[in-house]
Amino acid sequence: MVNLLSQTMTFAQCAMCRATVGSNLSEGRGVIGTGINDGILLMLVFTYLSVPTLMYIWFKTARKEMRLKMGQQ
């Protein structure tokens, strides 16, 4: 939790991504680097949104099943 709250600058790209961005920046084409970083952020957002969504669906289903079991007894 502490890691999520601390905002530090990191360079966490794979070697292939870093080489592609580095070569494109040296040639004056910075658009590809921005696209790669946007793609990384997009994957991060979908991961952090899908986990709570699945947990919510699981919770609602479990609660519904619990109500059905309580009604049958």
How far from 19 is each of 14, 46, 52, 54, 72, CA to CA, in Å? 9, 25, 34, 36, 62
Contact 13, 43 (CB under 8 A): no
Q: Give the pLDDT of residue 14.
A: 67
Q: Residue 11: in which H helix or E strand, if any?
A: none
The residue type at 31: V
Q: Is the pLDDT of residue 59 over 90?
A: yes
pLDDT-based confidence at 62, cuts 50/70/90? Answer: very high
Question: Per the confidence metrics, is the pTM higher than 0.75?
Answer: no
